Amino acid sequence: MSLAPPPPEVPRPRRDRTAWRWPLVTILLAGLLAAAYFVTLERFVAAGRGLAAAPGAAMAGLERLSRGLLRGEVTLRFLSSIPEVTGSPAGRLELATAEVVETISRSEERSAFWDLVPLGTTTVEIRIPVVYRYHVPMDGDWRVTVNGDRAEVVAPRLQASLPPALRTDRMERRVESDWLRFDGAARLAELERQLVPLVVARARDPRHVALARESARRSLAGFARGWLLAEGEAAGGVRTLVVRFADEDPDAGSPSLAFPVGRD
């Protein structure tokens, strides 16, 4: 009786390689799918960023295009009522105050397509009482000369005390816009932001300073008269006092007033 030869024995290393084949394939496919997922996700994120930036880019393009189509012109008017000027008590740095009802209006006219299509006008106005104060620095350059019975005091230049006081509780606002304009509130807010710089410039205006000058001169003369009377014997012969400010040229006819100094 013949025996069949035993089947050939498969080498163990070959079986091991066969056993690990599918897990390796599975891991490789999972890695490829993960890489494809992240690449696709990054593309979606980039696309989303582009869509998010699209409105801003579109607006920037429209703004550049509108520069050649839209034009605007702004007109600013500044009107003042006649102020009431009163003197401050003598001996203080502040010599005069002036309360003025300021009327500030701003008109903006716009058109489109190179001025071919008018878009209307927006006018805003603010009326507000403003208190301006004027002073001379006590540590400035003062000059006093006595000639016989006449004394002349040359004070430093009259200056505005800044900032002026705004009576905001009595402020009035007005807005007028054509039917194609919807920016009245924004233009009024812009004018309110400009209010303090405007009244500061107004306080320094020579015309406003001139309105307060004579009242300040009288307050300053009262201060100087009190000082001369306090000097007693040293200023006993002075009977007339002339007061002027350093920026007034007596040779050019700048005004100066004489005040009696003798005791009543």
Q: How far apart are CA 259 and CA 229, in angstroms?
A: 13
Residue 108 half-sphere exposure toward CB, CA atoms < 13 A: 19
Predicted model pTM: 0.61
Contacts of 187 (CB under 8 A, 6+ apart): 106, 108, 122, 124, 175
For 123, 173, 250, 253, the CA distances from 159, given in Å and listed in that order, are 33, 30, 19, 21
pLDDT by 10s per residue, the chain, length 264: 455 555 555 555 555 555 556 666 676 666 665 555 544 545 544 555 554 555 555 555 545 555 555 565 666 666 666 555 666 554 445 899 989 899 999 998 888 777 777 778 999 999 999 999 999 988 888 888 888 788 888 999 999 999 999 999 999 999 998 877 888 899 899 999 999 999 999 999 988 898 899 999 988 888 888 877 776 645 567 778 888 899 887 776 556 566 676 655
- State both tokens at 165: 């006081």
Q: What is the pLDDT of residue 131?
A: 94
CA 174 vs. chain centroid, Å, equals: 21
Beta strands in 113-239 (DSSP E): 117-135, 143-147, 150-155, 159-166, 172-177
Angle, helices 195-204/184-193, rounded to nearest 10 degrees:
40
Q: What is the pLDDT of residue 168?
A: 92
